[in-house]
Amino acid sequence: MSEPRTLLCFGDSNTWGFDPLGGGRYPRGVRWPGAAATALGPDWCVVEAGLNGRTSVFEDPMGDLAGVRHLGPVLASAAPVDVVAIVLGTNDLKTRFGASAPEIADGAGVVVDRALASRAGPNGCPPAVLLVAPPPIDAGQALAERDPEAFAERTAAWHDARARSLAFAHHYARVADQRGIAFLDAGAHLRSSDVDMIHWSPAAHAALGSAVAEAVRRLTVQ
């Protein structure tokens, strides 16, 4: 019996499964990597590597959160990895980084380059890469009506983030095309929660898990 193929899901708090309602973590089967595992079936092993606050390349004073420095060890520990799905960029929208949408997409591209330069795939080759553009953050109208103080704090910490995130799909597609890798626009399948503007509902996780599974199947058809 052959070994299952491996999908590595590398991302931030939305890959970790942060619940915007309770502040805890969704159960494994609710999180989008779990949904992808269900859709892919027993021929695949899905490895979750989500971290709250993770950026693409930006150094955060809150901790060691730059994904570009995490990916190598994570790939090595999960090897051989057939496909790595990279879902980063939402935290890069924080005001303190001062990053535009093109700069954030280029940061994700640096993470992609780290994967493509690795030997963590089958037979010492690089893994296939699926670059996922995060969905736009929510406009915040519901949060503003429900909790004006929380909305003010959010918009100060994430200044102009909605407008910048609306451009993610375009720029991430460019980055993927430049590298000849697969691309998925998460915003075509889900919306960020209006509870905190950033994180996702269980239905959104299910939608992304299904979309990622389909993209992985297309990548690995033999």
Task: Give me the DSSP letters along 30-76.
Answer: TSHHHHHHHHH-TTEEEEEEE-TT-BSS--BTTBS-BHHHHHHHHHH
Flag whether pLDDT at 204 surpasses 80. yes
Q: What is the pLDDT of residue 152?
A: 92
| Rounded mean pLDDT, 32-38 | 99
Task: Give me the DSSP letters along 144-182.
Answer: HHH-HHHHHHHHHHTTTHHHHHTTHHHHHHHHHHHHT-E
Contact 50, 9 (CB under 8 A): yes
Q: Is pTM, for the whole model, over 0.85?
A: yes
d(CA 208, CA 66): 23
pLDDT confidence band for 41 (50 / 70 / 90): very high
Flag whether pLDDT at 1 surpasses 70. no
Give the chain's domain count. Answer: 1
Question: What size, in residues, is the chain?
Answer: 222
Express each pLDDT in 166-197 by its tens digit: 999 999 999 999 999 999 999 999 999 999 99
For residue 74, what are the domain limits?
5-220
Express each pLDDT in 49-65 by its tens digit: 999 999 999 999 999 99
CATH no. for residue 108?
Answer: 3.40.50.1110
